[in-house]
């Protein structure tokens, strides 16, 4: 009888079976937590940026019509409906400081390369101190996983910014990195891929080191459908670009488009047997931005631009929704978290890296 009792108690303490077999990471460059959790800021809707973008009054009116609302909840749902209708219902969101939830970068520089590197290697490194397109001195968790037989050839990264070549060290990492305006040649050409490669070559280059998000996203989807990678990275950049241009309506449009891509991506993978019910989605920015008139900027001199947000949804992540108080999370924990979701202990292999976020893994649901 005692043996039976102890056996039943032990069985009750066994954690649920690990279900995640694939992870998709989407990073939305410079997307502020303020818009994610509060929606569009009414005080900034008339900040339309350079006149070549269009009629300022028309842009402000359209932004008000599309993203305005009487309450914060109305505004945030108008801006990012997938995040609030689906992820908030089935996953976890960190970083709403109005509710005491803290998410931030630790690198102290608060701009892109250091933010991406911290997220992908698990720690800030003083050697990573510029946005120059140079090889990352540290191996990313993507390369670490790709070196394992069970993940070899099943890892890929796509980014609108050409500097992802350096961040992932594309020359040595051993997996496909498609960044900036480079054509994708790693899979057989389809009519859609042929068009996407042509658009990269022929579209007017508004930014000399970054293409447009639609081209990057749809190129990544072509690869996903062809190769079905277990670990996929997609880096979108127009939120940061339009913010630096000073156009709040264009920044909101880019965020809204990114949210629609999350929905499209999630719906697609749930329709595929290789992914359905066994894929975790991670969404976050690489840094935050300033407040008020400083919303266009970020960096070491703008301390609040260290503030970020994170969203997780998948079969192993308890549906705790929008976090209140709860654990402080940092971008340095993302690498170990995604590895742990795939059953691997990155922190043990790279002790400098942050530890995995237990709440996301379902091991601590406080």
What does the block give as tokens for 319? 């549906």
Residue with tokens 């037989």: 149
Separation CA 265–CA 221 (nearest Å) = 8
Separation CA 104–CA 286 (nearest Å) = 9
| Residues 6+ positions from 23 with CB-CB distance below 8 Å | 230, 231, 232, 279, 280, 281, 282, 314, 338, 341, 342
- pLDDT score at 363: 76
| Residues 6+ positions from 233 with CB-CB distance below 8 Å | 24, 25, 26, 27, 120, 142, 156, 157, 158, 159, 168
Terminal alpha carbon distance of the chain? 33
Residue with tokens 């079905």: 228
Count of residues making up the chain: 366
22-361 placed in CATH 3.40.50.300? no
> 232 and 222 in contact (C-beta within 8 Å)?
no
Separation CA 322–CA 337 (nearest Å) = 18
- pLDDT score at 18: 84
Separation CA 135–CA 199 (nearest Å) = 27
Specify the DSSP class assigned to residue 364.
Answer: -
Specify the DSSP class assigned to residue 179.
Answer: E
> Which has the closest alpha carbon to 107: 312, 345, 328, 306?
306
Any alpha helices (H) in the chain, and if so which ranges? 2-13, 33-38, 56-67, 72-79, 81-82, 88-90, 112-121, 141-146, 164-167, 191-202, 213-227, 238-245, 248-270, 334-341, 346-349, 358-361
Query: What's the CA angle centered on 228, arms 308 and 226, to 5 degrees?
Result: 120
> 282 and 26 in contact (C-beta within 8 Å)?
yes
Residue with tokens 């890296």: 353
Alpha-carbon distances of 84 from 78, 80, 81, 274, rounded to whole Å: 9, 7, 5, 26
Query: What's the CA angle centered on 160, arms 287 and 116, to 5 degrees?
Result: 30
Tens-level pLDDT at each residue, the chain (366 residues): 444 443 443 434 444 578 999 999 999 999 999 999 999 999 999 999 999 999 999 999 999 999 999 999 999 999 999 999 999 999 999 999 999 999 999 999 999 999 999 999 999 999 999 999 999 999 999 999 999 999 999 999 999 999 999 999 999 999 999 999 999 999 999 999 999 999 999 999 999 999 999 999 999 999 999 999 999 999 999 999 999 999 999 999 999 999 999 999 999 999 999 999 999 999 999 999 999 999 999 999 999 999 999 999 999 999 999 999 989 999 999 999 999 999 999 999 999 999 999 999 987 543
Exposed, middle or buried by CB within 10 Å (0-12, 13-18, 19+), for 207?
Answer: middle
What does the block give as tokens for 186? 């790693």
φ, ψ for residue 233, nearest 5 deg: -115, 135
Q: What is the CA radius of gyration of the chain?
A: 20
What does the block give as tokens for 55? 């009629």
| Residues 6+ positions from 331 with CB-CB distance below 8 Å | 103, 104, 105, 106, 115, 118, 119, 284, 286, 308, 310
- pLDDT score at 80: 98
Residue 315's CB: how many other CB atoms inside 10 A?
18
């Amino acid at each position: 009888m005692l043996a039976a009792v102890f056996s039943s108690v032990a069985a009750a303490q066994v954690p649920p079976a690990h279900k995640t077999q694939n992870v998709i990471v989407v990073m939305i460059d410079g997307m502020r937590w303020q818009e994610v959790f509060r929606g569009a800021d009414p005080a900034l809707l008339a900040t339309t940026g350079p006149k070549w973008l269009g009629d300022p009054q028309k842009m402000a009116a359209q932004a008000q019509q599309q993203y305005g609302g009487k309450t914060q909840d109305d505004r945030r749902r108008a801006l990012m409906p997938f995040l609030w209708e689906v992820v908030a219902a089935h996953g976890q969101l960190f970083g709403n400081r109005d509710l005491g939830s803290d998410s931030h970068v630790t690198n102290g520089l608060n701009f892109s390369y250091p933010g991406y590197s911290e997220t992908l290697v698990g720690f800030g490194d003083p050697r990573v101190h510029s946005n120059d397109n140079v090889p990352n001195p540290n191996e990313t968790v993507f390369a670490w996983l790709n070196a394992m037989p069970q993940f070899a050839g099943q890892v890929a990264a796509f980014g609108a910014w050409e500097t992802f070549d350096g961040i992932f060290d594309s020359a040595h990492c051993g997996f496909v990195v498609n960044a900036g305006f480079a054509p994708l040649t790693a899979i057989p050409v389809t009519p859609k891929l042929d068009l996407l490669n042509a658009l990269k070559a022929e579209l007017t280059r508004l930014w000399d080191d970054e293409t447009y998000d639609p081209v990057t996203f749809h190129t990544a989807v072509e690869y996903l459908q062809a190769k079905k990678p277990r670990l996929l990275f997609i880096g979108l950049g127009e939120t940061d670009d339009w913010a630096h241009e000073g156009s709040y309506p264009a920044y909101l449009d880019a965020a809204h488009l990114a949210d629609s891509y999350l929905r499209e991506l999630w719906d697609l993978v749930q329709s595929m047997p290789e992914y359905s019910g066994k894929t975790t989605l991670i969404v976050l920015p690489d840094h935050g931005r300033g407040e008020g008139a400083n919303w266009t900027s970020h960096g070491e001199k703008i301390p609040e631009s260290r503030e970020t947000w994170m969203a997780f949804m998948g079969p192993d992540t308890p549906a705790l929704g929008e976090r209140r108080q709860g654990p402080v999370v940092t971008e340095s924990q993302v690498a170990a978290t995604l590895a742990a979701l795939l059953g691997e202990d990155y922190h043990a292999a790279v002790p400098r890296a942050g530890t995995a976020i237990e709440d996301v893994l379902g091991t601590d649901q406080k």
